[in-house]
Amino acid sequence: MGDIGELKKILNRTGKVIVAFSGGVDSSFLLKMAKDTLQDGDVLAVTAVSETYTGSELKQAKRFAKKLGVRHKIIHTNELKDKNFTKNPENRCYYCKKELFEELDRIKKEKCFNYVLDASNTDDIRDYRPGSRAKKEFGVRSPLIEAGFSKDEIRKFSRRLKLDTADMPSMACLASRFPYGEKINKKALRKIEAAEGFIKSQGVQQVRVRCHSNIARIEVEKQSIKRFVNSKFCDKITKRLKQLGFKYIALDLEGYRTGSLNEVLK
């Protein structure tokens, strides 16, 4: 169970930190706690920009950091230049995180910070997370795991802190929409971003469009599945996704769940 007191103790012991900041629920909560616990100037939020993330995520990260009054640095990574990443093996996430943490480690040493922190939570431990290997290699710490915070608890405490991210839909790298072995490229990433953006514009908050070659497998929360019973709604979604290049459009009746493409590994 998440313990705010323990989290503050952990942060107090870290000293000067860099927070790997995506602008999502978890990293926003961690950044807020670091800002409230440590001295001014001891916290630097760093957001990575690449083809695998949406433009809306960067805007959210900028807004939150500015409102919090935390120093915020934007860096650029280019996973699409790494064949180990674009081939999309089962440990794809390792190569992405390795590039990110290598750059954050460089900034840490250059600016004399003590640690790089990421916002992994206890739910992440139960999923397949090859990026954890990169964390160990670069000595990245995960205070939310150390203090026992689950995703639900992070949302609960974010509401208490009145953070506007508390009920924000979960975010994830767009590369997570591809089954392992299916090559990742810029065109496909933009197609997925546009597809999910359109579905969200129709009032569906949480959505994943999993790209199985020319098939779009749509995951939404179970309470949103009933929206797709409406033929006009379905026709609108189908028409737009076919315009984007998908040949077949399918709705996953199991609903949205994180790491659904890892189910083939079980």
**168 falls within a domain:** no
Q: In the prediction, which pLDDT does 264 show?
A: 60
Q: In the prediction, which pLDDT does 131 show?
A: 83
**79 falls within a domain:** yes
Q: Which residues of 109-147 are buried (b: 16+ CB within 10 A; e: fewer)?
A: eeeebebbbbbbbbbbeeebbbbbebbeebebbbbbbbb
Domain containing residue 129: CATH number: 3.40.50.620
Domain containing residue 185: CATH number: 3.30.70
Q: Is 113 left (phi over 0), alpha (psi -120 to 50) or beta?
A: beta
**165 falls within a domain:** no
**192 falls within a domain:** yes
**The last residue of a domain, from among 160, 191, 210:** 160
Q: In the prediction, which pLDDT does 127 show?
A: 72
Task: Say if residue 103 is in the same domain as residue 200.
Answer: no
Task: Say if residue 16 is in the same domain as residue 98.
Answer: yes
Task: Say if residue 156 is in the same domain as residue 188.
Answer: no
Tokens 């960067």, residue? 58
Q: Are residues 120 and 144 in contact, defined by beta-carbon separation less than 8 angstroms?
A: yes
**110 falls within a domain:** yes
Low-confidence ranges of the chain (pLDDT < 50): none
State how many domains the chain has. Answer: 2
Q: Which residues span the domain enclosing 225? A: 174-265
Task: Say if residue 150 is in the same domain as residue 208.
Answer: no
**225 falls within a domain:** yes
**190 falls within a domain:** yes
Q: Are residues 108 and 18 in contact, defined by beta-carbon separation less than 8 angstroms?
A: yes
Residue type, 172: A
Task: Give the predicted TM-score (pTM) of the model.
Answer: 0.91
Task: Say if residue 194 is in the same domain as residue 135.
Answer: no
Q: Are residues 199 and 218 in contact, defined by beta-carbon separation less than 8 angstroms?
A: yes
Which two structure tokens, joined as six digits, stand for 89? 């093996």
Task: Say if residue 152 is in the same domain as residue 21.
Answer: yes
Sheet hosting strand 207-212, strand order edge to edge: 207-212, 215-220, 248-251
Task: Say if residue 188 is in the same domain as residue 142.
Answer: no
Task: Say if residue 87 is in the same domain as residue 17.
Answer: yes
Task: Say if residue 240 is in the same domain as residue 135.
Answer: no
d(CA 132, CA 6): 22
**What 3-state DSSP class applies to 209?**
strand
**The last residue of a domain, from among 129, 160, 191:** 160
Task: Say if residue 151 is in the same domain as residue 195.
Answer: no
Helix residue ranges, H only, the chain: 4-14, 25-37, 55-68, 83-86, 92-111, 122-125, 131-137, 143-146, 151-160, 186-201, 222-225, 231-243
**230 falls within a domain:** yes
d(CA 120, CA 150): 9
Q: In the prediction, which pLDDT does 56 show?
A: 87
Task: Say if residue 152 is in the same domain as residue 211.
Answer: no
Task: Say if residue 117 is in the same domain as residue 245.
Answer: no
Paired with 210 in beta bridges are: 217
- Cβ atoms < 10 Å from Cβ of 153: 20
